[in-house]
Amino acid sequence: MSESTHPRIREVLSRLPAYVPGKPAAAPEGLTAYKLSSNENPYPPLPSVLATIHDAAGAVNRYPDMAVSALTQALADSLGVPAECIATGTGSVGVLGQVIQACCDAGDEVVYAWRSFEAYPIVTTVAGAVPVQVPLDDGHRHRLDAMAEAITERTRVVLVCTPNNPTGTVVHDAELREFLAQVPRDVLVVIDEAYLEFVQDPEAPDALAIWREHPNVMVLRTFSKAYGLAGLRVGYAVAHPEMATALRKTAVPFGVNSIAQAAAVASLDAADEMRQRVDALVKERGRVGDGLRDQGWDLAPSEANFVWFDLGEESSEFTAACEAAGLMVRQYGTDGVRVTIGESEANDRLLEVCARWLAH
Ligand SMILES: *Cc1c(COP(=O)(O)O)cnc(C)c1O
């Protein structure tokens, strides 16, 4: 009999960092505050999407469609893949949790680059699997050769984040294909494309083509970033049928709610308007990047909707300078600071803070 007077919580949880959410925007007096800490889309929902959300809200006394049929079919049509290859979840973080649960027993290994997305160690550890982190190179890019070497008998999943959150770098199509040639057929490679819509680098991977050619590849995407539905929690995988079936088995029942399903379908219907917004954000990213380079900053080129400041020990001070100017940003300990591309006024303010920083 245990002596403990408390319900016992799994030991492994004590090793987990609690997920740090982006700070809410807090305004110093007389300034508009901007939240640039969670890579959100600064645009409010499109009117057509908002109207759909409003209509769907009238039916929330009913459970959602458990099979997520309309959204699955809409995704299949827009991507040109069979519906049986789509699996949805509560954001792509939700889908990622389903992936680890579907593939990993206790002690199995999940390989990914580091720094990368903060949810990776969390979903891995919660499932009882073991994170294997492979440091990025000096240019803040994935070292796919080292990741291939990190694969062992216990490896079940490799996560490739492209563009990488928080550094913004992409892997290239050719190096990803070379990497895949070295990965055992029974190891799943997940290509996390949360920021795909912002990518312009012609050498970036054609993940769906790679998926078609490799039975052990899966592509992960989300409506949270470019599509601006972060608050509704809907993401999906493009997976081979057996894996997609496994993901449906490990899904939270009715996890993707009816409002989220309807809004995601409406967003796919409004793809042209979405594209215009994404193009505007990409243009802003270019403007911010050029401005920073003109100031003298040496930054990794970002293919996503954020920029990475590799500031090391100065990260806290830079974060404080941003906050004093009303910009909420995401600090990663003593590694660096990630700043989301937001409204153009917010981006202007960032350029001002950065110019002052270099002069201080
Ligand atoms: C934001 C993000 C996601 C998506 O999160 P959701 O759960 O879909 O909101 C997935 N992967 C990476 C790398 C991200 O940065």
Taking 80 as the threshold, does the pLDDT of residue 233 lie above it? yes
What digits encode the pLDDT tens for the residues 160-215? Answer: 999 999 999 999 999 999 999 999 999 999 999 999 999 999 999 999 999 999 99
Close Cβ partners of 350 (under 8 Å, ≥ 6 residues apart): 36, 288, 322, 327, 339
For ligand 1, which residues put their CB under 6 angstroms from it? 39, 91-93, 117, 161, 165, 192, 194, 222, 224-225, 230, 235
Please tell me the distance between residue 282's alpha carbon and the centre of ligand 1 in angstroms.
Answer: 18
What digits encode the pLDDT tens for the residues 263-289? Answer: 999 999 999 999 999 999 999 999 999
What digits encode the pLDDT tens for the residues 15-47? Answer: 887 666 666 767 778 889 999 999 999 999 999
Taking 70 as the threshold, does the pLDDT of residue 1 lie above it? no
State percent of the chain over pLDDT 90: 92
Please tell me the distance between residue 91's alpha carbon and the centre of ligand 1 in angstroms.
Answer: 7
Q: How confident is the prediction for the chain on average, in pLDDT?
A: 95
Taking 80 as the threshold, does the pLDDT of residue 262 lie above it? yes
The pTM of the full predicted model, rounded to 2 decimals, is 0.96
Please tell me the distance between residue 349's alpha carbon and the centre of ligand 1 in angstroms.
Answer: 26
